[in-house]
Amino acid sequence: EPEVTQTPSHQVTQMGQEVILRCVPISNHLYFYWYRQILGQKVEFLVSFYNNEISEKSEIFDDQFSVERPDGSNFTLKIRSTKLEDSAMYFCASSEAGQPQHFGDGTRLSIL
């Protein structure tokens, strides 16, 4: 069964550094999403992306965050200047229109 893949599985970064999290969505999906889950808390929506632009973003997704689909297969989340509170699991998801979102296994981001 096709799946969403995310790399790296674990990223350790110094505070203030830029980080790029990568995702390969399911190939025929057109809708892409990023969510995060701080340890012990619920999964939170960050951003949705369709037709090469952001459809919706949450309050968490401030100017430090950006998303890109640089080619036909990858979908990336960039955090420009990381803060300690950015430490979390980041999940990528993809879907067809009005269909279930399928999640990757996430990138654990640790900010030191």
Binding site residues, other proteins, CB under 8 A: 4, 31, 33, 35, 41-45, 48-51, 55-56, 58, 91, 93, 95, 97-106
Q: How far is the CB of 53 from other proteins (least distance, A)?
A: 8
Could you give the dihedral angle defined by the CA atoms of residues 92, 55, 72 and 24, in that order, rounded to the nearest 10 degrees?
A: 0
Pick 76 or 103: Cβ nearer other proteins: 103
Give CA–CA dist 50/43, Å, rounded.
21
Closer residue to other proteins (CB): 14 or 51 = 51
